[in-house]
Amino acid sequence: MDVRISTGVAIRLALALTVVVGSAVLLSSSDKPAFADSEKAYYADQNLVNFVRPGLVLNIVSAEIAADGTIKTRFKLTDPKGLPLDREGLTTPGAVSVRAVAAYIPKGQTQYVAYTVRSVTSTLSKLTATQATSDSGGTYSKVDEGEYVYTFATKAPAGFDKTATHSIGIWAARSLSEFELDQLGNYTAAVYTFVPDGSKVTVTRDVIRTQSCNKCHDPLSAHDERKSVELCILCHTPQTSDPDTGNTVDMPVMIHKIHMGSQLPSVVAGKPYQIIGFGNAVADFSTVVFPADPRNCTFCHEQNTGAAQASAYLRPNQAACGACHDNVNFKTGENHSNGGIPVVSDRECANCHIPQGEVEFDASIVGAHTIPRFSRDLPGTVFEILKVDDGVGGKKPAVTFTIKDKSGKPILPSEMTRLGLVLAGPTTDYPSYVTEDALKAACGSDGRCLWTFQNPLPAKAWGTYTVGIEGYRNIKLNEGTPKELTVRDAGVNKVFNYSVDGSKVAARRQIVSLAKCNNCHSNLSLHGDNRNRIEQCVLCHNPNQTDQGTRPADKRPSETVDFRHMVHKIHTGEEIGQPYVIYGKGSSVNDFSEVRFPGDRRNCAACHVNGSEQLPMKDSLLDVNNPRGLLNPMGPATAACLGCHTSVNAASHALANTTILGESCAACHSTGFEFGVPKVHAR
């Protein structure tokens, strides 16, 4: 039989087949593009990718300054495979915008001064300020495919120092929006450092490397996609200020102030910290809360990055130190720890503020920034859970554990200020928990202690249960001195999994890693340092738990504290667009509505491990009790997704795709499907 199908019908048939089965078909390994599944290009048509060759690589080949001050730099533009790109986008897809700055380090100084500057007059204050910026009006000459020489319109002044360190910074962006291939890899920057007389570069500024910033910022990027600290310091110089507020945007001052944010003495006193930029756009950093402790200087000033001046924070000066301690008036001595004596120059600072003294909490740089809970003088609290007896249905679990200091000396439970044991199960998804005060646990001469839970397990308990231990001792440091303080010497949480029915022990699923949390938080610790391991947190922050027990009656309904929903929502923060408040112990108000996440929430792998953000989820997961939310209860996938996607439309979408049989999220959002989680979050 002769069967003919019109072109239109064939197309519709092909589309229909794609809808039915196409989204479930993964590319074969030989067809996959050479991109990560977090990049948009990974999901694009292979022929389009081969034609466009997404990505951008910038390499500055050379730079020179002529006797008359003419500044030139030679650079190459290529795709990631090294093939040349046309800057104008005529012979290769996507025009590349290029901007450049030129700066030098004056003799005897440590920071750059830019040649490329502009004078800006505020429309608000009417004051005028100098600002380092990119060059304007220069010319390009093509010397080869993808290779260009840029001649700056700005000239170095007559008599410029040919023996000083100079740097050319270039940032570039490749526009591929017409191909729907705009992605992170299309933006790049490079810095070329040289001495105009041809001698070797011996003076550099290399304090903090970009990789340290990218622990949180994912990746560091500002203005029109300017990346890298090496580039930033060419414009954020002492010569540059904001005429609207009078604030300098000198890098060490501005960065210290931004990261102190809400803890700045000036902000605490009621004065916001703001910088007003292009088009009178107000950048208010008064609500920034640094996710680590700002006293931890080495969190940013990392000693293992190879930065030549990584220890620069040990050399005190008024600008950097006064940025955080901005209530100190060095000219008058007001609020200065030296007893109110005026400081004439930075040379005086090191007289008192040596790099490190012999004791903690002194006036040295390291001592003054000691974080009490990490004091070397704390004896330490070390927990171990050894075994669980009678941990079966209908019986009261008996937990054997030890507490020791860091020297190995046993600590009696009665010596602890707080000691808690938490019991939850099964690990498939903790439905509830029990916590008991174990300060009266009995201990033997061998240091082994025993606590028997007051209530028996449910008669039908099954699977794997978990016991966690938490607590601290109050320790006095510098006792009997004016700097005496009491510090919580908290132990690192330990959890112990055991079978209640003889089945194989199976730990709770791992979703995130503490190491990834600590990329930003440095040393995550909550609830008075009692909880400091993810495995401990999830015992209480389970699908059924809310803040009802601590939320005032007039502030109800209660808020879920289910871990997945709560953590996603906390990190969404100010982008939620509505208050997000959890009440804690003593009805303390914890408002996360102003949290400013420094990374990109599309990068699920910044927190998640082993693709745990992907669908489908395990069938054993519980619905989430959500009295204050748009949906109650929420399915497990819905609870995770609505933590970031907080709109009514998103909730309605989730509701429409939840039936009496459960959630159907995985039907569209499974990995490899058209709307799979990795694909819709690709950047």
Mean pLDDT of the 580-605 span: 95
Quick one: which of 638, 653, 606 has its CA closest to 38?
A: 606
Sketch the domain layout of the chain as residue ranges.
Answer: 54-240, 243-370, 382-510, 541-680
Identify whether the C-beta of residue 510 lies closer than 8 Å to the C-beta of residue 610.
yes
Identify whether the C-beta of residue 470 lies closer than 8 Å to the C-beta of residue 463.
no
Q: Which residues are CB-neighbours of 376 under 8 A, at least 6 positions away? A: 360
pLDDT digits (tens, 9 = 90+) for 414-433: 999 999 999 999 999 999 99
Helix, strand, coil shares, percent, the chain, to 5: 25, 25, 50
Task: Give the helix ranges, DSSP H, for 3-88.
Answer: 7-20, 46-52
Whether residue 18 is predicted with pLDDT greater than 80 in this model: the reply is no
Whether residue 340 is predicted with pLDDT greater than 90 in this model: the reply is no
**Confidence grade of residue 258 (pLDDT, cut at 50, 70, 90):** very high
Give the pLDDT confidence score for residue 279 in this predicted structure: 85
Quick one: which of 538, 627, 554, 548 has its CA closest to 582?
A: 548
Mean pLDDT of the 388-401 span: 98
Calpha distance 82→69 (Å, rounded)? 33
Give the pLDDT confidence score for residue 365 in this predicted structure: 97
Give the pLDDT confidence score for residue 90 in this predicted structure: 96
Quick one: which of 204, 348, 326 has its CA closest to 253?
A: 326
Identify whether the C-beta of residue 493 lies closer than 8 Å to the C-beta of residue 383.
yes
Whether residue 374 is predicted with pLDDT greater than 80 in this model: the reply is yes
The length of the chain is 683
Calpha distance 43→24 (Å, rounded)? 13
Give the pLDDT confidence score for residue 114 in this predicted structure: 98
**Confidence grade of residue 346 (pLDDT, cut at 50, 70, 90):** very high
Quick one: which of 144, 214, 123 has its CA closest to 520?
A: 214
Calpha distance 544→546 (Å, rounded)? 7
Calpha distance 186→354 (Å, rounded)? 45
Is the backbone of residue 680 left (phi > 0), alpha (psi -120 to 50) or beta?
Answer: alpha
Calpha distance 335→497 (Å, rounded)? 53
**Other C-beta atoms lying within 10 Å of the C-beta of residue 176:** 23
Phi/psi of residue 182, each to 5°?
-65, 125
Identify whether the C-beta of residue 157 lies closer than 8 Å to the C-beta of residue 145.
no
Whether residue 337 is predicted with pLDDT greater than 80 in this model: the reply is yes
Place of tokens 């916590």: 435
What is the CA angle 204-209-213, rounded to 5?
145
3-class DSSP assignment, residue 658: strand
Fold of 382-510: Immunoglobulin-like (2.60.40)
Calpha distance 229→222 (Å, rounded)? 11
Whether residue 61 is predicted with pLDDT greater than 70 in this model: the reply is yes
Whether residue 538 is predicted with pLDDT greater than 70 in this model: the reply is yes
Calpha distance 676→24 (Å, rounded)? 10
Calpha distance 114→135 (Å, rounded)? 10
**Confidence grade of residue 224 (pLDDT, cut at 50, 70, 90):** confident
Quick one: which of 472, 520, 476, 478 has its CA closest to 492?
A: 472
Whether residue 355 is predicted with pLDDT greater than 90 in this model: the reply is yes
Bond into 633 cis (ω within 30)? yes
Whether residue 596 is predicted with pLDDT greater than 60 in this model: the reply is yes
Quick one: which of 516, 526, 503 has its CA closest to 428?
A: 503
pLDDT digits (tens, 9 = 90+) for 85-128: 999 999 999 999 999 999 999 999 999 999 999 999 998 889 99
Whether residue 10 is predicted with pLDDT greater than 80 in this model: the reply is no
Calpha distance 511→498 (Å, rounded)? 20
- DSSP characters for 78-122? E-TTS-B--TTSSSSSS-EEEEEEEEEE-TT-SS-EESSEEEEE-
Calpha distance 180→622 (Å, rounded)? 38
| DSSP strand pairing (96-105 vs 113-114) | antiparallel
Calpha distance 411→403 (Å, rounded)? 5
pLDDT digits (tens, 9 = 90+) for 637-670: 999 999 999 999 999 999 999 999 999 999 999 9
Whether residue 9 is predicted with pLDDT greater than 70 in this model: the reply is no
Give the pLDDT confidence score for residue 32 in this predicted structure: 47
Tokens of 469: 């231990």
Place of tokens 């199908």: 5
Calpha distance 302→309 (Å, rounded)? 10
Quick one: which of 560, 527, 557, 528 has its CA closest to 541?
A: 560
CA atoms within 13 Å, Cβ hemisphere of 152:
29
pLDDT digits (tens, 9 = 90+) for 107-118: 999 999 999 999
Mean pLDDT of the 293-298 span: 97
Calpha distance 285→600 (Å, rounded)? 18
Q: Which residues are CB-neighbours of 127 under 8 A, at least 6 positions away? A: 121, 243, 244, 246
According to DSSP, the residues that pair with 531 across neighbouring strands are 526
C-alpha dist (Å) from residue 499 to 386, 429, 450: 14, 15, 19
Give the pLDDT confidence score for residue 38 in this predicted structure: 92
329 DSSP assignment: B
Identify whether the C-beta of residue 573 lies closer than 8 Å to the C-beta of residue 601.
no
User: Which of 6-15, 170-179, 474-483, 623-632 comes out lowest in average pLDDT?
Assistant: 6-15
What angle do helix axes 514-521 and 210-217 make, rounded to 10 degrees? 110
Place of tokens 């910022």: 217
Quick one: what percent of the chain has pLDDT higher than 90? 91
Average pLDDT value over all residues in the chain: 93
Calpha distance 579→570 (Å, rounded)? 11
Quick one: which of 651, 388, 662 has its CA closest to 500?
A: 388
